[in-house]
Amino acid sequence: MKGRQILLGQYHGREAAALIENGKMQDLVIDHDGPGVGSIYRAVVDRPIKGQGGVFVKTPDGNGFLRQVKGLSPGQTLLVQVTGMAEDGKATPVTDRILFKSRYVIVTPNAPGLNVSRSIKDDDRRDEIIGIIREGIGDIAHGMIMRSSCADGDDGAILDDAMTMLDLANQVLADQEGAPELLLSADGPHDYAWREWTDPADVVQSDECFETHDILDQIEALAEPRVAMAEGHYFIEPTRACVAIDVNTGADTSPAAALKANIAMARDLGRQLRMRGLGGQIVIDPAPIPKKDRKILESAIKAALRRDIVETNFVGFTQMGLIELQRARVRPRFTG
């Protein structure tokens, strides 16, 4: 398959979406049980957790953990939004800073102001986007971020999207009293694909499209630890404590083989972690390189992380030469 395709189908009876570029899968989202990132609840404060700077809150889907809050008392109701996937046996991470995200806009009730994505460099287009909102809506009660997709978006579609999300925000924010309740579900895979994969693509929607477009082998490979590369291979093995990654050069024994394998891994790692649904502490055992080459590898990793949609921090090298990353958990782990 040449070009870019978005496949909206089913995988093992669950709604799923895949992003394909020149026959290679770049992203995969599969529906799952439990609260998804972006779900909004009316919650009830349960109890503070001393020493951790947060409180447990009760939701209809179990406990949530809200960090860095002050002035809350047990029994108080508030709105919270899911920010990540919970580890087994732990509360779901939530925030009280609610966002309403769509294809063209993000409504930010706690951060007033109208802002345009910095990735839109054309000043004339930036002014046009602001004019669309000012003329079509006027003053808005909430903050709003105009996303990068507005650069090439249809003006009428942008305005409709903004008005829809403002109405949704007003409805949810007005419903703060009562027992714990799910007020807004997270987007399913097909809606997520519409919202996030905005570059031009051929869209194929059918329950069997994964089979007809021959990507099942790529999906099933995500359950295997070994990842092949032209420059060697690496293994991704999740444990309870962290995700361990081991890089190998394969048959290449040239002096530059190790650095080439490590850089190739760095460029591919975000894609693999994203599709596998892995996050938390990431520990990489790179192919052995001299200390003078560590800066080159560090730069390659940081450049790749900047392009990744999942927030990931480069922590640094350990005394043993291992690389530590900290990555948000925003998807369930892929198990096949």
Q: The pTM is what?
A: 0.92
Q: Are 95 and 68 in contact (CB under 8 A)?
A: no
The predicted structure's pLDDT at residue 69:
74
Q: How far is CA 95 from CA 42, 64, 132, 152, 182, in A?
A: 12, 9, 31, 32, 15
- Map tokens 């650095």 to a residue: 259
The predicted structure's pLDDT at residue 328:
94
> Is 70 exceeded by the pLDDT of residue 51?
no
The fraction of the chain above a pLDDT of 70, given in percent, is 99
Q: DSSP labels for 54-117?
A: EEEEEETTEEEEEES--S--TT-EEEEEE-SPPPTTSPEEEESS--EE-SSEEEETTS-SEEE-
- pLDDT tens for residues 73-98? 889 999 999 999 988 778 999 999 99
How far is the C-alpha of 82 from the C-alpha of 219, rounded, in Å? 26
Mean pLDDT, the chain, rounded, equals 94
The CA radius of gyration of the chain, in Å to the nearest whole number, is 22
> Cβ atoms within 10 A of the Cβ of 88, count?
5
Collect all residues with Cβ–Cβ distance below 8 Å to 34 and sequence separation of at least 6.
61, 332
Of residues 1 and 239, which shows the higher confidence score? 239
The predicted structure's pLDDT at residue 1:
67
Q: Mean pLDDT, to the nearest integer, of 3-14?
A: 96
Work out the pLDDT band at 110, boundaries 50, 70, 90: confident
- Which element (helix H / strand E) includes 173? helix 155-173
Work out the pLDDT band at 180, boundaries 50, 70, 90: very high
What's the distance, Cα to Cα, between the start and end of the chain in Å?
24
How far is the C-alpha of 156 from the C-alpha of 153, rounded, in Å? 9
How far is the C-alpha of 18 from the C-alpha of 214, rounded, in Å? 12
